[in-house]
C-alpha cells in the first residue's frame, strides 16, 4: 500500500462530450463519466491529490489549466480539441510539468481528420486506443515515477 503524497497533484482534464460517454458510440465506453470518476478516485485513493475537470467549452479548459499551473502532472483527453485547438496547445506549452495525452479510441483507425493531434506537440506521453484503461495506465506510470 502506498502512502498519500500531498505534494504530487494531478489534473485529469476531459474535453467535449466525454461527460456523456455512455450515450456516445459503442467504442467509447458503456460506463458513465460519473462511475468512471469514482473508479479512478478509488484506484488512486491515498496516493495522490487528483483534481478532475470536464468541460465542453475550450475557454473553460484553458482557464482551468492556467489557474492550476502548480500541479505536477496533467492527464488530458482533449477530445475533438486535439485536432485543431491552437489555443489549448499554446496554454499547455506554458505548463512546466508532465502531460499525458489520452485518447479512448485509436485515432489512427478513425476518420482521417483525427489522425493529427496538435496537443501531441506538447505532450510527453500519448496513450491511444486503450479505452478508459489509458487513464489507469497513466496513474500507474505516475506511481512508478513518483513513489
Nine cell digits for residue 89: 496547445
Task: Reply yes or no on whether 141 is catalytic.
Answer: no
Known binding-site residues equal: 77, 83, 90, 104-105, 114
| Residue-by-residue DSSP string for 39-100 | HHHHHTTTT-EEEEEE-S-HHHHHHHHHHTTT-SEEEEE-GGGGGT-HHHHHHHHT--SEEE
Task: Reply yes or no on whether 81 is catalytic.
Answer: no
Catalytic residue among 28, 43, 81, 108: 28
Known binding-site residues for substrate equal: 77, 83, 90, 104-105, 114
Catalytic residue among 26, 43, 84, 103: 103
| CA distance to 6, 10, 41, 113, 134, per residue, from 46 (Å) | 9, 13, 9, 40, 20
Provide the annotated active-site residues: 28, 103
Amino acid at each position: 500500500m502506498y502512502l498519500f503524497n500531498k505534494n504530487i497533484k494531478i489534473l485529469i482534464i476531459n474535453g467535449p462530450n466525454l461527460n456523456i460517454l455512455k450515450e456516445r458510440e459503442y467504442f467509447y465506453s458503456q460506463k458513465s463519466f460519473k462511475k468512471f470518476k469514482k473508479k479512478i478516485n478509488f484506484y488512486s485513493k491515498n496516493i495522490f491529490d487528483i483534481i478532475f475537470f470536464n468541460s465542453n467549452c475550450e475557454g473553460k479548459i484553458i482557464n482551468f489549466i492556467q489557474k492550476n499551473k502548480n500541479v505536477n502532472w496533467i492527464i488530458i483527453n482533449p477530445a475533438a480539441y486535439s485536432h485543431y485547438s491552437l489555443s489549448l496547445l499554446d496554454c499547455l506549452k506554458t505548463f512546466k510539468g508532465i502531460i499525458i495525452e489520452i485518447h479512448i479510441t485509436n485515432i489512427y483507425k478513425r476518420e482521417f481528420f483525427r489522425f493529427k493531434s496538435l496537443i501531441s506537440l506538447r505532450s510527453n506521453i500519448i496513450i491511444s486506443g486503450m479505452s478508459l484503461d489509458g487513464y489507469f495506465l497513466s496513474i500507474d506510470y505516475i506511481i512508478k515515477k513518483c513513489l
